[in-house]
Structure 1
Amino acid sequence: MMIRRLAQLFLGLFLYGLSIALMVRADLGLNPWSVFHQGLSDVTGLSLGTIVNGVGLLVLLIWIPLRQKPGIGTIANVFMIGTSADICLLFLPPLDGLWLQGLCLAAALALNAVATGAYIGAGLGPGPRDGITTGLLRVTGWQIRWIRTGVEATVLALGWLMGGTVGLGTIIFVLTSGPLLQIFLPMFTLKAPAALTVSRVPSSS
């Protein structure tokens, strides 16, 4: 069972990176966290994947006052998503034509939901950005929708100010990520032993 969990985790994380790369190539708007990552990449000159991994590592520091504990999936998330995004961007050329960009965006949105369902469903620990939401939920007692909205609105605004791509794809992602995840998460959720049970609150990575 652990081999199945690990395989699902790593495949899900790789596919999540691929979904980010597809959204970048579609060039119609990124998800909130990717807007932040892209903006920071533009400002620093570092690759998008390097920024994704670096931000994930820094976010783990916020877990300390929130009393969050990382799992195998948390550590793998930090190093795999950005790396896979960079690798996929090397092989995905820029797109020319709105219809092709639209198809690429649709594929990215669907793949993102599948990938998120897979890595969260493996039950080996939430991603670094997920942990901010679950930690604030426990510490503050606020409603999760306001915490999630506040976090993502903040990173979206910062990313936009730094030059990240905000567009129709961003709006579509915000509106569809929840419903799509509701479809795919149950498909991939594995029944975990008590020792592996974690809080599962998805994020837009």
Structure 2
Amino acid sequence: MTAGEQLRAEKKAWRLVQLLVGLVGYGTALTFLVGSSLGASSWSVLAEGLSLRTGMSFGWATNLTAVVVLLCWIPLRELPGLGTFLNVVLVGTSADLAALFVPPPTSLVQQIGYLLLGLLMLTFSDAVYLGARFGSGPRDGLMTGAVRLSGGKPIWLVRTAIELVVLTAGWLLGGTVGLGTLLIALLMGPLVQQFLRVTTVRLAADG
């Protein structure tokens, strides 16, 4: 749906609440993943690296990255929705707020716990906000736009290329790459797909 169609579609109140819960949960999940020190997603590795190099908070680095990626939508001719803009604002902000309440892990067991909890929260929250059907986040739009401009290259190939470039940049900046990075790369897609089956809001236009 276009941005206008998203706003005109039914169940707006429920969908808006679901969108906000998903985005806040997503940002909170990033705090657990980064806090585990066992590796996070490629984009979080980049944000962590930027945070270390610039002195800005992880959340602000996440928001800044999202803004830059969103600007890349212009030549890609991607159309943002309400969820796109709220993603830019809320994910990083929620990560910073969660960091005020989530204590650093004190043992390997707790690190693993943070990693697993963060992974489940990340995938479920991603499905929750996408299921609200207010548009994709900046990073997902970058992928779909790149797929279209690539002349129909497979989604997995384009997504993998983007993730590798982002991960390498983050690692060179000092971001943490580890077991969590591998787990997220392997499980993110399948888990989000499963969760979307129960989080996607059904609309009359679906038939």
**TM-score (normalizing by structure 2):** 0.91
SS of the aligned residue for 1:91 comes to coil
- Partner residue in 2 for 1:118: 128
- Partner residue in 2 for 1:137: 147
- Partner residue in 2 for 1:51: 61
| 1:2 to 1:168, Cα distance in 2 relative to 1, 3 A | same
Counterpart residue type for residue 59 of structure 2 = G
1:189 aligns with 2:200: yes
| Alpha-carbon separation, structure 1, partners of 2:80 and 2:129 | 14
Structure 1: runs of 5 or more not aligned = 198-205
| Alpha-carbon separation, structure 2, partners of 1:142 and 1:175 | 20
- Report deviation, 1:192: 4.1
Counterpart residue type for residue 3 of structure 1 = A
User: CA deviation digits over 1:98-153, x for unaligned, max 9?
Assistant: 11111111111011111000011111011001100011112222110011000011
| Alpha-carbon separation, structure 1, partners of 2:204 and 2:75 | 27
Equivalent residues of 1:123, 1:192 under 8 A apart:
no
1:7 aligns with 2:45: no
1:27 aligns with 2:27: no
- Report deviation, 1:193: 6.0
**TM-score (normalizing by structure 1):** 0.92
| Alpha-carbon separation, structure 2, partners of 1:137 and 1:162 | 27
Equivalent residues of 1:15, 1:111 under 8 A apart:
yes
| Alpha-carbon separation, structure 1, partners of 2:42 and 2:119 | 13
- Report deviation, 1:191: 2.4
Structure 2: runs of 5 or more not aligned = 1-10
SS of the aligned residue for 2:71 comes to helix
Counterpart residue type for residue 58 of structure 1 = V
| 1:68 to 1:56, Cα distance in 2 relative to 1, 3 A | same
| Alpha-carbon separation, structure 1, partners of 2:168 and 2:68 | 19
User: CA deviation digits over 1:146-170, x for unaligned, max 9?
Assistant: 1100001100000000000101111
- Partner residue in 1 for 2:3: none
| Alpha-carbon separation, structure 2, partners of 1:193 and 1:61 | 33
| 1:193 to 1:32, Cα distance in 2 relative to 1, 3 A | farther
Match of 1:153 among 149, 164, 181: 164
RMSD value, Cα: 1.2
Counterpart residue type for residue 86 of structure 2 = A
- Partner residue in 2 for 1:176: 187
Aligned residues: 195
- Report deviation, 1:25: 1.4
Match of 2:95 among 85, 89, 93: 85
- Report deviation, 1:19: 0.4
Match of 1:163 among 149, 174, 198: 174
| Alpha-carbon separation, structure 2, partners of 1:69 and 1:60 | 10
- Partner residue in 1 for 2:82: 72
| Alpha-carbon separation, structure 2, partners of 1:9 and 1:127 | 11
Match of 1:100 among 84, 106, 110: 110
